């Protein structure tokens, strides 16, 4: 008798022979083309055997570990004892008992969301044995005495990369959801997944470039980045956008937003419902936004000083022509905030007071504890990176994007491997992931300066150590009111590092901590009802002390910022339309610079 189809025993059917034949023929043709192209590119490059210097770090770790064999033996005995208990518990489950798990997954770990990981004793055993092994590896590498801190950080990071990659959820035969789908579709999911894999290899020209979202559903300026406005000024590095008012009167001081040039500015204008730019316009701000160029080899010699001059200083002059106002409020996001702080110190040295308030979104100025990005900043890697940039004149946007994705590998790499290649599903259209994949290039001179002088040498907080545009930079000279918003789960700009700026700036400072991470914690409109934030009027030197004394408030921090900035200057003037000043519109927002893709 045929077995009936149940959730536990899905009916297996054979795949469509025509689909198999068509897919295999396509694999042969496209695969040959991809491999040939990849080998050609490899032959043209001078690859470094270990550019990340991972081997040296693990060699040092192994040497230190062998110096204390008793501790290693103790860890192994604990691991095998737990493993023996797991075997016994699995046998008891098969006999009908319900023992407590030896190790439980984090409830937030989406890799094991399928109920079979808990209800089926075989998959429960696979899951727990993986979790035990992962804990063993991470405990061993993190418990080594005398290891150089940088080497320890690198070992810990790449051990987690290895552990994440080896998760049973990433493999066909050990993922119950994939096995179920394979049985239900007769393996057609795997054939579709193979086609997706080939398409991603073609997108990456032989290197895997995972498609995270259905990018055919998005068009910049059509259904994302649609807040009305005009480009009113441009130069080699940026276009300046002035947005159209939605109120009869506006605040006298215009608002200038400086996004990071590592990404596109429209993270602050994804959709009308979550657009910080649109919300600020609706609150009565005359909003100007810098849209950075996606640089090519012709801009290889543009430096940090050029971003100051052609970014902030040119924007200030343009805003005065457009509105007649010299005094403005400024916002800098991440690297844009680092540029803002650097420029404010430069302006202080020249007694230039046009920027009357500074808001920093998740911005580091003290890079002593730069978080996991520090794994990629050492002499060996910087030398290798600089050699690559010198050949091309820029850093490829895809290389930067891969680095950021590795910081959250389970969410931004492996979940898509399972969804796209094993389950054979099409990526879901998601505006944030479209933006995340719309990477930008970095000019060689600027990026080398930023990584060496700020990340590696931490010169920005050393008074006078950096000289730009003829002035020595001293952040202690910044006396304008400052608003710092950081996020509690930030992997890129850890909040305890961003908090250090509160002890540097000499003007009034307000520090606010939002829940969630580098993007979601910032792009959190009041109507969403998501993510709380913490406030504390006191600014003790220790960030933990600040947090212990902070008050948690429900919802978005945006209204708190608006109250803060309007309290500094409440004056109103009639609304200003783009093009009604001395600057004539060049083109409609979001402009043409933002539409240049890194792959163009």
- 229-408+418-595 fold: Rossmann fold (3.40.50)
pLDDT tier for residue 412 given thresholds of 50, 70 and 90: confident
**For 425-433, what is the mean pLDDT?**
90
pLDDT at 381 over 90: no
**Residue 413 banded pLDDT, cuts 50, 70, 90:** confident
- The reported pLDDT for the residue numbered 149 is 76
User: What mean pLDDT value characterizes the chain?
Assistant: 87
Among 102, 257, 334, 364, the active-site one is: 334
Percent of the chain clearing pLDDT 90 (strictly above): 57
What is the predicted pLDDT for the residue at 29? 57
Q: Is the pLDDT of residue 97 over 50?
A: yes
For strands 255-258 and 287-292, give the pairing: parallel
**pLDDT class of 20 with cuts at 50, 70, 90:** low
> Hey, is 406 helix, strand or coil?
helix
DSSP characters for 450-480? IIIIIIIT-GGGSTTS-EETTEE--GGG--S
Q: Look up 334 and say whether it is catalytic.
A: yes
Q: Dump pLDDT digits (tens) for 334-363.
A: 999 999 999 999 999 999 999 999 999 999
Angle, CA 447 vertex, CA 354 and CA 412 arms, to 5°: 105
Residues near 253 by Cβ (< 8 Å), separated by ≥ 6? Answer: 325, 327, 328, 329, 356, 569, 571
Average pLDDT estimate for 406-420: 85
User: Which residues of the chain form CATH 3.40.50.1820?
Assistant: 229-408+418-595
pLDDT at 6: 45
The band of 85, judged by pLDDT with boundaries at 50, 70 and 90, is very high
**Quick one: average pLDDT of 365-372?**
88
Residue 286 in this model has a pLDDT that exceeds 70: yes
Residues 110-124 have pLDDT tens digits of: 999 999 999 999 999
Choose among 109, 83, 111, 89: nearest CA to 101.
89
> Which residues 6+ apart lie within 8 Å of 170 measured at CB?
414, 417, 418, 422
Q: Is the pLDDT of residue 40 over 80?
A: no
Least confident segment among 7-11, 327-331, 497-501: 7-11
Rounded CA separation 235/241 (Å): 12
Q: Examine the pLDDT at 277 and tell me if it is beyond 90.
A: yes
Identify the residue with better confidence: 376 or 304.
Answer: 304
The two beta strands, 328-333 and 255-258, are parallel
At residue 379 the predicted structure's pLDDT band, cuts being 50, 70 and 90, is confident
Residue 329 sits at φ, ψ, to 5 deg, of -100, 145
* pLDDT score recorded for residue 154: 79
pLDDT of residue 125: 92
d(CA 593, CA 600): 12
Instruction: Compute the distance between CA of residue 498 and CA of residue 96 in angstroms, rounded to an integer.
Output: 53
pTM for the whole structure: 0.85
The pLDDT of residue 24 is 52
Please give the DSSP secondary-structure letter assigned to residue 220.
B
Token pair for residue 13? Answer: 């059917």
Residue 25: per-residue pLDDT? 55
269 versus 27: the higher-pLDDT residue is 269
Arithmetic mean of pLDDT, 357-370: 95
User: Is the pLDDT score of 333 beyond 60?
Assistant: yes
pLDDT, average across residues 467-480? 97
pLDDT in tens, 570-587: 999 999 999 888 999 999
Confidence of residue 210 (pLDDT cuts 50, 70, 90): confident
188-203 vs 17-44: helix crossing angle, rounded to 10: 20
Most confident of 117-121, 176-180, 301-305: 301-305
Query: What pLDDT is recorded for position 398?
Result: 77
pLDDT at 48: 46
What is the tens place of the pLDDT at every residue in 194-205? 888 888 888 877
């Amino acid at each position: 008798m045929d077995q009936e189809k149940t959730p536990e025993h899905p009916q297996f059917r054979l795949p469509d022979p025509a689909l198999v034949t068509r897919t295999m023929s396509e694999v042969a043709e496209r695969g040959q083309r991809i491999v040939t192209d990849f080998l050609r590119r490899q032959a043209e490059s001078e690859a470094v055997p270990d550019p990340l210097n991972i081997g040296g770090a693990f060699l040092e770790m192994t040497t230190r570990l062998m110096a204390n064999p008793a501790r290693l033996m103790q860890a192994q005995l604990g691991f095998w004892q737990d493993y023996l208990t797991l075997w016994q518990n699995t046998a008891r489950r098969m006999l009908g008992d319900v023992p407590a798990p030896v190790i439980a997954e984090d409830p937030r770990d989406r890799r094991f969301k399928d109920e079979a990981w808990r209800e089926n004793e075989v998959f429960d055993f696979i899951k727990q044995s993986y979790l035990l092994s992962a804990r063993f590896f991470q405990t061993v590498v993190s418990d080594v005495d005398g290891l150089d801190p940088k080497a320890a950080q690198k070992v810990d990071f790449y051990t987690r990369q290895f552990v994440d990659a080896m998760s049973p959820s990433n493999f066909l035969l050990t993922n119950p959801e994939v096995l179920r789908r394979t049985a239900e579709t007769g393996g057609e999911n795997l054939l579709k997944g193979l086609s997706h894999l080939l398409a991603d290899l073609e997108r990456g020209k032989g290197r895997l470039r995972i498609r995270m979202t259905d990018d055919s559903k998005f068009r910049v300026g059509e259904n994302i980045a649609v807040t009305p406005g005009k480009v009113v000024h441009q130069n080699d590095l940026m276009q300046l956008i002035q947005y159209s008012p939605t109120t009869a009167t506006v605040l006298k001081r215009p608002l200038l937003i400086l996004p990071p040039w590592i990404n596109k500015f429209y993270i602050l204008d994804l959709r009308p419902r979550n657009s910080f730019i649109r919300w600020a316009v609706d609150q009565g701000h005359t909003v100007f936004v810098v849209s950075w160029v996606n640089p090519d080899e012709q801009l290889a010699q543009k430096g940090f000083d050029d971003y100051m001059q052609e970014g902030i200083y040119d924007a200030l002059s343009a805003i005065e022509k457009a509105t007649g106002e010299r005094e403005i409020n400024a916002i800098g996001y991440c690297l844009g905030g680092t540029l803002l702080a650097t420029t404010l110190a430069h302006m202080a040295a020249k007694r230039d007071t046009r920027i009357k308030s500074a808001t920093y979104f998740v911005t580091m100025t003290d890079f002593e504890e730069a978080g996991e990005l520090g794994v990629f900043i050492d002499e060996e890697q910087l030398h290798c990176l600089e050699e690559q940039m010198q050949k091309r004149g820029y850093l490829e946007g895809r290389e930067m994007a891969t680095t950021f994705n590795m910081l959250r590998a389970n969410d931004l790499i492996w979940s898509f491997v399972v969804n796209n290649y094993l389950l054979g599903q099409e990526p879901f259209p998601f505006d944030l992931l479209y933006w995340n994949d719309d990477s930008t290039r970095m000019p060689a001179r600027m990026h080398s300066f930023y990584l060496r002088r700020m990340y590696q040498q931490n010169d920005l907080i050393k008074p006078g150590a950096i000289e730009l545009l003829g002035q020595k930079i001293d952040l202690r000279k910044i006396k304008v009111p400052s608003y710092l918003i950081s996020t509690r789960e930030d992997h890129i700009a850890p909040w305890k590092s961003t908090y250090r700026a509160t002890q540097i700036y000499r003007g009034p400072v307000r520090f606010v901590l939002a829940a969630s991470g580098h993007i979601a914690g910032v792009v959190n409109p009041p109507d969403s009802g998501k993510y709380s934030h913490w406030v504390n009027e006191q600014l003790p030197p220790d960030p933990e002390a600040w947090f212990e004394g902070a008050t948690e408030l429900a919802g978005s921090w945006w209204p708190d910022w608006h109250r803060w900035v309007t309290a500094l200057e409440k004056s109103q003037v009639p609304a200003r339309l783009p093009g009604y000043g001395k600057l004539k519109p060049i083109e409609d927002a979001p402009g043409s610079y933002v539409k240049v893709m890194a792959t163009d």
